[in-house]
Structure 1
Amino acid sequence: MSLRAFFKLVEIQTKLASLFPFLVGCLFAMYRYHAINLITTLIFLVRCCSLI
């Protein structure tokens, strides 16, 4: 496995690892408070998934 392929694999796993708590937090907010701020949630989701 080349170094470039390894870094791509690690980046994908890191993104998945950061998205899981985000989704759990959104589900908890919907369950507990029956509301979610869609604009800030989408901004955070885009930032979570960005390549930067």
Structure 2
Amino acid sequence: MTDTAKAMTVTTMAALVLVTAYSVALGGNGWLWFAWVVLGMVTLGMVTARER
């Protein structure tokens, strides 16, 4: 895995923690979860593309 893919993975996991904390503290927000899913899909695409 390249450095860029590793950084993106760390960013995605940090975003998951932040979205979860926001949801626990202030209630769920569908747009935040949607944005996190999109970020996760982009990260997965980067990791998969870099491995080939």
TM-score, L = length of structure 1: 0.53
Whose helix proportion is higher, 1 or 2?
2
User: For the residues of structure 2 that align with 1:15 and 1:36, how far apart are their CA atoms?
Assistant: 24
1:11 deviates by 2.3
Greater RCO (Cα-Cα under 8 Å, separation 6 or more): 2
TM-score, L = length of structure 2: 0.53
Deviating above 4 A after TM superposition, structure 1's stretches of 4 or more consecutive aligned residues are none
Percent sequence identity over aligned pairs: 10
Unaligned stretches of 5+ residues in structure 1:
1-7
Q: Which has the larger radius of gyration?
A: 1
Provide the aligned length of Structure 1 versus Structure 2: 40
After superposition, the CA RMSD in angstroms is: 1.9
Unaligned stretches of 5+ residues in structure 2:
47-52
